[in-house]
Structure 1
Amino acid sequence: MRRAPTDVAETQKRFTRRALLLGGAQIGFMALLGLRMRHLQVDQADQYRLLAEENRINIRLIPPARGEIYDRNGVPVARNVQSYRITIVREDAGDIDSALTRLSSLVELDEDDVNRAVTEMKRSAPFLPVTIADRVSWDEMSRVAVNSPALPGITPEVGLSRTYPLAGDLAHVVGYVGPVSDYDLSKIENPDQLLRIPRFQIGKVGIEAKRETELRGKAGTKRVEVNAVGRVMRELDRREGEAGDDLQLTIDQRLQSYIQLRLGEESAAAVVMDCRNGDLLAVNSSPTFDPNLFVSGISVADYRSLTENKYRPLAAKSVQGTYPPGSTFKMVTALAALEAGLVSAEDTVYCPGHLEVANRRFHCWKRAGHGHMNLQTALRESCDVYFYEIALELGIDKISAMSSKLGLGERFDLPMSGVARGLNPTKDWKQSVRGASWVIGDTVNASIGQGFVLASPLQLAVMTARLASGLELMPRIVKSVNGVEQGIADSASLGLNENNLRHIRRAMFSVSNNRRGTAYGSRVIEDAYRMAGKTGTSQVRNISAAERAKGVFRNKDLPWERRDHALFVNFAPYDDPKIAVAVIVEHGGGGSTAAAPVARDITLQALYEGDPPLSAYPTKDRTRIEAQQKRIREMMPDRQGKRSGDRA
């Protein structure tokens, strides 16, 4: 049957429209395919060519700049300095021995460094760069760069290295950095990939370690193009990391350096605390060490010289060391008795030179006795028997409670290594730790800071600041982070009777300013800066009956390790306390002769913010002090940490 002409025309029209639509779609698809092929083959040709050639694009971590550390006045105490180093990537270098042989013809390589690098390459991923030579000269860097075509996988780099401008002055506070060890990694549950870079440095002790995460920052990344022999051809792109936080400490670098020089080579410690807000102005331990020795890895000889030194230069004695506080603890016993209402400031006790307790004789340091003593005279002349007597009536529980209120036996939350708790003994403590009952003789010993009582210089400084202020001050050592001031907690009142505190302060004033005071020889003459203090001498051995029968040996006649510790605590000015100071000289003998003169010099240096006038000292001391000031002034570092002998 023939179709009508109109139907044929309509069919042809539909067919033509479909053909055009289909053809247009095909052409559009082909056009898109062509554009995509052009994008891949032309625009991204270099990238895909490199991907096709054995994955020749490497992604590498960019270590961030470590945060720097400054003192309260902005003086740098831990800095980053530009340094040159030579690294090697194992997977790009090929034959390691041949690569190192070629490199050694251009740069003098230390055998220990090479062996360490080879060991690190075997233990780390093949694509991680390992440092072969660190802190090389510019000439050596240039020679390696010029010969880089013949040194596949070996790259001269510019990096940052940690340095401590003031050397040992803040070593025990700031600490130091060093290469990451397996032990470091074992302590971290999910270690940052940065820590797996061979020779990457992290904080080992001190603030460097305790604030490691903040100081480290976050890594960046870069993509680099390498050729068939492993040479880096170009950097494709880079994402910078985040630098670590800068920290500002409460420490005053000038005061810290002065104290370090004043302590000299004594085995000693000193702490200076602001009585108004708890800021630690100086935290010193002596002798000290140079933390720069540890940055790249300390030599065996240098490390042995530190560990075998009987004065323990690596120990932060100011916060880690705990010692019997001796007579500096007597303020605790006296204040506890006043608060309990067991004694008044006028009540007297007779001191014949000893006290018989439970068939045992407890001696006073003055064998002939002090006679009748009240609270002020007992503290002024450090009579032991007075405190034995009131402790028997008071009991250890009240003494321990007051000790705790004044900060003893507390581990303060500071970013320093090994901050000690000390020991504030109680009946329960002795039963649980020693498996023995508390006896009355333990209370007698504790009343004068002997027996089981232990305190650090930091705790003694806190105790003194709290006595001076009546506030529950907490020590602080980080002042700001990235310029943002860290909050100071409001210090609550200790809740002690102000009249009782005045009695204690007045007695401490007489220790330093009354002719019969144990620290009168180390007094301050300037009325505006007079100090109130307390001497202490703590025994490190028991004196036998045979020794007493012969006459107690003088400290200077004994081996150094058997001599008594010398202590002194003070606050100043007496009428308006600004600073509290605690000093201990290990095995120094008497607190009045070994520790008090040091504390007096530190106090004046802090209050005058530099060398005090000679008129602040007793006349008999001025010639010696003038020579001492001149010697220390010549050795003081400048703002760059250079001492006079090092300056050009």
Structure 2
Amino acid sequence: MRRPGRENTESQRRITRRGLILGGLQTGVLGVLALRMRFMQVEQADQFRLLADENRINIQLIPPTRGRIFDRNGAIIADNVPSYRITIVREQAGDVDSVITRLAQLIELDPDELERARRDLRELRGDTPVTVADRVSWSALSRVAVNAPALPGVLPEVGLSRRYPAKGDYAHVIGYVGPVSERDLENTDAPEQLLRLPRFQIGKIGLEAQRENLLRGSAGTRQVEVNAAGRVMRELDRQEGQPGADLQTTLDNSLQGYCSARLDGESAAVVVLDCDNGDILACASSPSYDANLFVRGISSTDYRALLENPYRPLPNKAVQGIYPPGSTFKMVTALAALEDGKIGLDETVYCPGHLTVSGRRFHCWKRGGHGNMDLHRSLRESCDIYYYELALRTGIERISAMAERLGLGVQFDLPMTSVAKGLAPTKEWKLSNRGEPWVVGDSVNAAIGQGFVLASPLQLAVMTARLATSRSVTPRLIKSVDGVEQPTGHGEDLGLNENMLREIRNAMFAVSNSNRGTAYNSRIVEDAFRMAGKTGTSQVRNITATERAGGVISNKNLPREQRDHALFVNFAPFDTPRIAVAVVVEHGGGGSTAAAPIARDITLQALYNGDPPLEAYPTADRPAVKARQEQFRRTRPLPDAEAKDRA
């Protein structure tokens, strides 16, 4: 049935109205979309372009090249060598476990290293490259590069790693670098992002750590374009960082190597100083260790072996080790008494072999005594009673003041780890640190370098250089930084009476060159290089009255840890001092037998700048010296360049 015309008209009107409303809504939506699109494409175009670039472009840090370390003649001590490694970026890898599984089919992955890598991948930012294989071969690196499309997020890289050509010769002085640890980050105020790069190396001990700010340099950056899989397509921009500074030390490579070899088999230390400017020509501690073991993280087995070694290879005995200086301290006591006018150069003290002070008997090393002793003879023959008497007359305050004047009890500002201050004790020190008053027996002990007195081999070498020159010679380790010469340690005049110093030097000369001197058997017979020295033997145990009455037990019959420390200090040549040497042999027994021969050999090696002629040695020592020189040449051949120079 047909609708009436009136109804049709009404229906058409409703349809038209709805169409208009719907069309208007559509037009409005389209208008809003158009405006939004215009806003995004025109007004916010730069912002979205930047966001797109951020997805396409990565900014990566470029680790700086670490500064190198040289000896005084330009021989390399610490260098950088290429190191191939494989890294993975979590954000780009996607399924990390799957990628690592495919990678393990191409190259061998160390389980421990892989475990560290997995931990870093979990804990570090997703865009941080994490090393999964280090020090890989060139062939392994090539296999990874060829299979790059199947390894998203995996990058073969060529970096630099630290190398120490001399291995253990400089381990205690130069130290070593190692990967940044959590402890390193905790001890650094606001650590820079560079330090958070996995396996980034920083100085851990020694010069490497103490001059980290100079050696590290500053990082550069590079912008790289990556594809959807995170593979680097091309480098867009690069800003190079600042390489670390090259440091030239005062050390002599050849002499340092000789010192290390000469101390082999001993728990000992030696320091050789240039008397003119304080340059440390050699600073060796024995036994040592290969610093290269620590660069990538030493194994627990190797580290345990170092810790359990009774000869203590880890500490730097030359600057950290502090010992009772024994009779090498007697020059200090003598100068304090002379300057205070408590004794004259020719005045004598009678030595019956012992001296009773406050009801306690103090003994001389020579049981029957030395008889009448003046200053010269007391040093030459190392009479203890003479110095006991000087202590009673002079007092500990003046003795300690003279010790500090000569460099003992002073912490020198050197870029090495834990440089010891030693101890030149005073009454106030004992009261503050021991809670007890000073007694006269303490002064008597201190007069011969026992009791509370402590000194390092470095300090003993400084003392000897100051006695030889009358100047406040100060040790220096860094000769130049990037070619810029550093201040020397020449020092000012000590203000000591030259006549008194001359008598001290003459007595030290007699120690080594008089047939009654305690170091006569270790003398230098070459007239131009004769040395002046002083032996020292410091006790590490108490000798009871019962033992003394029955005869003191010889060092060779005691357990090693109960034997005396052996010391020797010297300067040479006597007339024009060029070098000062200090040697300490832990539990070596007597200074004249254990330390003096080592110091004599090192002195000649330094003065001749190589193997000295056999004629410089006493006739009786020449066969042993010749055999030792031949052994050194076999086991420690000279570098090619140095060998050519010697030829």
Task: Give the aligned partner of residue 510 of structure 2.
Answer: 510
Task: Give the aligned partner of residue 341 of structure 1.
Answer: 341
Rounded to whole Å, the distance in 1 between the matches of 2:268 and 2:247 is 27
What do the CA deviations read for 1:441-491 (whole angstroms, capped 9, x no partner)? 000000000000000000000000000000001100000011111122551
1:167 match: secondary structure: coil
1:480 match: secondary structure: strand
One-letter amino acid matched to 1:591: G
Checking the alignment, whether the CA contact within 8 Å between 1:269 and 1:583 is kept in structure 2 is yes
Task: Give the aligned partner of residue 379 of structure 2.
Answer: 379
- Equivalent residues in 2 for 1:212-611, closer than 5 Å: 212-489=212-489, 491-611=491-611
One-letter amino acid matched to 1:457: P
Checking the alignment, whether the CA contact within 8 Å between 2:346 and 2:374 is kept in structure 1 is yes
Range 167-176 or range 538-547, more displaced: 538-547
Rounded to whole Å, the distance in 2 between the matches of 1:551 and 1:56 is 87
1:248 Cα deviation after fit: 0.2
1:638 aligns with 2:615: no
RMSD: 2.0
2:156 match: secondary structure: strand
1:225 Cα deviation after fit: 1.7
Checking the alignment, whether the CA contact within 8 Å between 2:276 and 2:490 is kept in structure 1 is no
Checking the alignment, whether the CA contact within 8 Å between 1:180 and 1:198 is kept in structure 2 is yes
Question: Normalising to structure 2: TM-score of the pair?
Answer: 0.91
Rounded to whole Å, the distance in 1 between the matches of 2:50 and 2:297 is 39
2:518 match: secondary structure: coil
One-letter amino acid matched to 1:432: S
Checking the alignment, whether the CA contact within 8 Å between 1:124 and 1:198 is kept in structure 2 is no
Range 49-58 or range 92-101, more displaced: 49-58
One-letter amino acid matched to 1:212: E
Shift of the 531–264 alpha-carbon distance from structure 1 to 2, 3 Å rule, reads: same
Task: Give the aligned partner of residue 135 of structure 1.
Answer: 135
Checking the alignment, whether the CA contact within 8 Å between 1:256 and 1:283 is kept in structure 2 is yes
Shift of the 607–481 alpha-carbon distance from structure 1 to 2, 3 Å rule, reads: same
Rounded to whole Å, the distance in 1 between the matches of 2:95 and 2:642 is 45
1:127 match: secondary structure: coil
Range 437-446 or range 193-202, more displaced: 193-202
Checking the alignment, whether the CA contact within 8 Å between 1:256 and 1:284 is kept in structure 2 is yes
Task: Give the aligned partner of residue 101 of structure 1.
Answer: 101
Rounded to whole Å, the distance in 2 between the matches of 1:106 and 1:433 is 64
Shift of the 106–50 alpha-carbon distance from structure 1 to 2, 3 Å rule, reads: farther
What do the CA deviations read for 1:475-519 (whole angstroms, capped 9, x no partner)? 000000111111225511000000000010000000000000000
1:635 Cα deviation after fit: 2.3
Checking the alignment, whether the CA contact within 8 Å between 2:431 and 2:438 is kept in structure 1 is yes
Shift of the 58–50 alpha-carbon distance from structure 1 to 2, 3 Å rule, reads: same
Task: Give the aligned partner of residue 20 of structure 1.
Answer: none
Rounded to whole Å, the distance in 1 between the matches of 2:585 and 2:532 is 19
Range 403-412 or range 191-200, more displaced: 191-200
1:199 match: secondary structure: coil
Rounded to whole Å, the distance in 2 between the matches of 1:253 and 1:53 is 53
Rounded to whole Å, the distance in 2 between the matches of 1:574 and 1:54 is 72
2:169 match: secondary structure: helix
1:439 Cα deviation after fit: 0.1
Checking the alignment, whether the CA contact within 8 Å between 2:350 and 2:372 is kept in structure 1 is yes
What do the CA deviations read for 1:142-178 (whole angstroms, capped 9, x no partner)? 0000001110111000111100000000111100000
1:199 Cα deviation after fit: 1.2
Range 618-627 or range 481-490, more displaced: 481-490
Rounded to whole Å, the distance in 2 between the matches of 1:53 and 1:402 is 71
**Structure 1 residues not aligned, in runs of 5+:** 1-33, 644-648
One-letter amino acid matched to 2:159: G
Checking the alignment, whether the CA contact within 8 Å between 2:474 and 2:490 is kept in structure 1 is no
Checking the alignment, whether the CA contact within 8 Å between 1:167 and 1:641 is kept in structure 2 is no
One-letter amino acid matched to 2:283: V
Rounded to whole Å, the distance in 2 between the matches of 1:232 and 1:638 is 46
Question: Normalising to structure 1: TM-score of the pair?
Answer: 0.91
Task: Give the aligned partner of residue 164 of structure 2.
Answer: 164
1:119 aligns with 2:86: no
Rounded to whole Å, the distance in 2 between the matches of 1:329 and 1:117 is 55
Task: Give the aligned partner of residue 67 of structure 2.
Answer: 67
1:639 Cα deviation after fit: 3.4
What do the CA deviations read for 1:345-393 (whole angstroms, capped 9, x no partner)? 1111110100000100000001111111100100000000000011100
One-letter amino acid matched to 2:98: S
Task: Give the aligned partner of residue 28 of structure 1.
Answer: none
Checking the alignment, whether the CA contact within 8 Å between 1:70 and 1:78 is kept in structure 2 is yes
Task: Give the aligned partner of residue 190 of structure 1.
Answer: 190
Rounded to whole Å, the distance in 1 between the matches of 2:383 and 2:583 is 21
One-letter amino acid matched to 2:174: V
1:50 Cα deviation after fit: 8.5
What do the CA deviations read for 1:236-274 (whole angstroms, capped 9, x no partner)? 211111100000000001000001001112000000000
Task: Give the aligned partner of residue 80 of structure 2.
Answer: 80
One-letter amino acid matched to 2:429: W
1:168 match: secondary structure: coil
Rounded to whole Å, the distance in 2 between the matches of 1:622 and 1:53 is 77
1:571 match: secondary structure: strand
One-letter amino acid matched to 1:72: R
- Equivalent residues in 2 for 1:197-216, closer than 5 Å: 197-216=197-216
Task: Give the aligned partner of residue 15 of structure 1.
Answer: none
1:135 Cα deviation after fit: 1.0
Rounded to whole Å, the distance in 1 between the matches of 2:549 and 2:290 is 47
Shift of the 573–409 alpha-carbon distance from structure 1 to 2, 3 Å rule, reads: same
Rounded to whole Å, the distance in 2 between the matches of 1:53 and 1:536 is 73
